Structure 1
Amino acid sequence: MSARTPESEPLLTPAEVATMFRVDPKTVTRWAKAGKLTSIRTLGGHRRYRETEVRALLGSVPQPRAEG
């Protein structure tokens, strides 16, 4: 197994991150501005987020309990 380099790490769009957290994409942008997520800017100026960082943040968020 080879270690992933930052260049080969999958990047997610704000919409993809928003879907994972079930929030609006604007919320993801606010999180990046607040320093909760590190964003990478594309040449066109769009934000992208490292998948490993997003999944780590997702794992640290308490999940709502299912009532049943």
Structure 2
Amino acid sequence: MQTAPWTTRSLLTPGEVATLFRVDPKTVTRWANSGKITSVRTLGGHRRYIESEVRGLLGAVPAQPR
């Protein structure tokens, strides 16, 4: 049996990703559907996002003035 390259501790919910990017969680789902961000499904069918990938993408986003 192979182990996944991530653990449940390194996965983020759509809400957590949305908070980091300051967008609506549905936007995060659209990004996953279009292939802009990788998602994995839990046994219950919920999306989770790999934290290291999200943090890498977050570092590539220019800061917006408030």
TM-score tier (shorter):
0.7 to 0.9
Q: Give the secondary structure class of the aligned counterpart of 1:48.
A: strand
Q: Superposition RMSD on alpha carbons, in Å?
A: 1.5
User: 1:1-68, aligned counterparts within 5 Å?
Assistant: 6-8=5-7, 10-65=10-65
How big is the shift at 1:64?
Answer: 1.4
- Kindly tell me the number of residue pairs found equivalent between the two proteins: 62
* Secondary structure at 2:49 match in 1: strand
Distance 1:62 1:43, change over 3 A: same
Q: For residues 24 and 48 of structure 1, what CA distance do their matches in structure 2 show?
A: 15
State TM-score, norm by structure 1: 0.83
After TM superposition, which residue ranges in structure 1, 4 or more long, deviate above 6 angstroms? none
TM-score, length-normalised on structure 2?
0.85
Q: Which runs of 5+ in 2 are unaligned?
A: none
Q: Percent identity?
A: 69
Matched letter for residue 7 of structure 1: W
In structure 2, distance between residues paired with 1:40 and 1:21: 19
